[in-house]
Amino acid sequence: MRETDTAAKDIERIAKAIRAGDRAALARAITLIESAKLEDQIRAEGLLERLLPYTGKSIRVGISGVPGGGKSTLIDQLGLNLIGEGHKVAVLAVDPTSSRSGGSILGDKTRMGRLAADPQAFIRPSPAGDSLGGVTKTTRETVALAEAAGYDVVLIETVGVGQSETAVANMVDVFVVVAIPGAGDELQGIKRGLLELADIIAVNKAEGDQVERANRAAMDYRTALHILATGHSNWDPQVLTLSARDNRGLDALWTKITERHAALAASGALDARRSDQAASWMREIFEQRLLAAFKGGKRAARHFQELENKVRAGQMTPAAAAAELGRLAGIKDAD
Ligand SMILES: Nc1nc2c(ncn2[C@@H]2O[C@H](COP(=O)(O)OP(=O)(O)OP(=O)(O)O)[C@@H](O)[C@H]2O)c(=O)[nH]1
Ligand SMILES: [Mg+2]
């Protein structure tokens, strides 16, 4: 009884500090979220629940694109511009490939050096979890905490070469893809799947003798988008050119982002989208837990490999093996 009282007071204290904009408290809370320890997870859940009413009030923007396209440089400059207009900016960098010892994280800190030094900004790398789901969970929860701390713009950087961009697209309001001028007229390594997620394509490094190429690339992207006829209701994906390095075209980019956000909000689609995201988040977490509990069970774990081998060898159909695993886990067959 006394112990739960202390725990509740502890959560109350952290929640208050976060709401008051205490950056150290925010950083510690994110560490709780990232922790694999059960006791930390319980505290993190209590904290998130306590702060839930104060979340959801930011513009959430995903920034993806080719490696080296200038995403971090863009975020650094855009973040500074927005702070200049009175915003508070949180930046999360998701890199599911960086189980290497934080090399890219260090790189990001230096590429966003000016923003990192600004008291109105909060930059946090989202660590590589052992699963994409892990990355998603911590990133989403970090967004919630940052919002509760009063950050009204949340920018999430992710490389556009894995699955992380889909995960990020599913947790933001507006998704920006950063491209670069092509050497020829081919689209620079941007996957079709990434184009389909884009609300806005920003062709970066459009300065000096690259302006002409950047304009041509922008035309190509417009054509590609037209052919793909990407299915956003009430919004045709926009293509623009800019130079993050020279701070050119960034105001136009922000205008497009806010226009997209406003259009979503006005039509009610923003609320619907966020509700859907929250519901699918719940499903995702539940499925992960179910799977973890299942794999942790001795009987199922023993048979899992055995059945997988049979499926691989063509001795059993995948459906039959899955049904058998279900029975081992105590799941009744559908009738
Ligand atoms: N000329 C020019 N160079 C730029 C511009 N923006 C970024 N760069 C350079 O491009 C390189 C990559 O920039 P980053 O901002 O690290 O790119 P990124 O997309 O975050 O890279 P990763 O996170 O490694 O995928 C750096 O050398 C930047 O200085 C720009 O507008 N013009
Ligand atoms: Mg980067």
Nearest Cα neighbor of 138 from 40, 244, 260 is 40
Identify whether residues 99 and 223 lie together within a single domain: yes
The bound ligand whose nearest atom lies closest to the alpha carbon of 64 is: 1
CA-to-CA distance for 40 and 70, rounded, in angstroms?
Answer: 36
In the numeric block, which tokens belong to residue 257? 């982002």
Q: What is the mean pLDDT of each run of 10 residues along the chain (335 residues)?
A: 79 96 95 88 93 95 92 97 98 68 51 91 76 71 96 92 82 94 63 88 96 93 83 82 98 97 92 89 81 74 87 94 83 61
Residues with CB under 5 A from ligand 2 (ion): 71-72
Has residue 89 been placed in a domain?
Answer: yes
pLDDT at 17: 98
- Does one domain contain both 189 and 260? yes
Q: Are residues 44 and 62 in the same domain?
A: no
113 lines ligand 1 (CB under 6 A): no
Ligand 1 closest atom vs CA 93 = 23
Q: What is the 3 state secondary structure string of the chain?
A: CHHHHHHHHHHHHHHHHHHCCCHHHHHHHHHHHHCCCHHHHHHHHHHHHHHHHHCCCCEEEEEEECCCCCHHHHHHHHHHHHHHCCCCEEEEEECCCCCCCCHHHHHHHHHCHHHHCCCCEEEEEECCCCCHHHHHHHHHHHHHHHHHCCCCEEEEEECCCCCHHHHHHCCCCEEEEEECCCCCCCCCCCCHHHHHHCCEEEECCCCHHHHHHHHHHHHHHHHHHHHHCCCCCCCCCEEEECECCCCECHHHHHHHHHHHHHHHHHHCHHHHHHHHHHHHHHHHHHHHHHHHHHHHCHHHHHHHHHHHHHHHCCCCCHHHHHHHHHHHCCCCCCC
Task: For residue 295, tell me if it sits in a domain.
Answer: no
Cα gap 1→18, rounded to integer Å: 26
Q: Are residues 114 and 47 in the same domain?
A: no
The pTM of this model reads 0.86
- 68 alpha carbon – ligand 1 mean position (Å): 5
Residues 187 and 241 in one domain: yes
The answer on 97 and 3 residing in a single domain is no
The answer on 226 and 80 residing in a single domain is: yes
Residue 231 lies in a domain: yes
83 with 215, same domain? yes
The answer to the question of residue 98 being in a domain is: yes
Q: Does 69 map to a domain?
A: yes
Residue 195 lies in a domain: yes
**Domain-embedded: residue 321:** no
Amino acid 287: pLDDT: 82
Q: Count Cβ neighbours within 10 Å for each residue of 123-139 and write b for 16 or more, e otherwise.
A: bbbbbbbeebbbbbbbb
Last residue of a domain, one of 266, 285, 301: 266
Q: What is the residue whose two structure tokens read 């933001």?
A: 172
Backbone angles phi, psi at 333, to 5 degrees: -65, 145
Cα 249 from Cα 251, distance rounded (Å): 6
Note whether 167 and 30 are same-domain residues: no
Question: Does 100 fall in a domain?
Answer: yes
Give the CATH number of the domain where residue 45 resides: 1.20.5.170
Quick check: CB of 213 below 6 Å from ligand 1? no
* 74/8 same-domain check: no
Q: Which of 244, 266, 288 is the last residue of a domain?
A: 266
CATH number at residue 84: 3.40.50.300
- 216 vs 101: CA distance, rounded Å: 39
Residue 36: domain span: 1-54
d(CA 314, CA 106): 47
Residue that finishes a domain, picked among 226, 241, 266: 266
The pLDDT value given to residue 188: 58
Task: Check whether residue 120 and residue 15 sit in a common domain.
Answer: no
Q: Cα separation of 48 and 42, whole Å?
A: 10
What is residue 110's predicted lDDT score, i.e. its pLDDT?
64
**Ligand 1 neighbour 248 (Cβ under 6 A):** no
Q: Which atom of ligand 1 is nearest to the CA of 208?
A: 1
Number of domains observed in the structure of the chain: 2
In this structure, what are the phi and psi dihedrals at residue 64, rounded to the nearest 5 degrees? -130, -175
Q: Say if residue 253 is in the same domain as residue 155.
A: yes
The reply to whether ligand 1 has any atom less than 6 angstroms from the CB of 71 is: yes
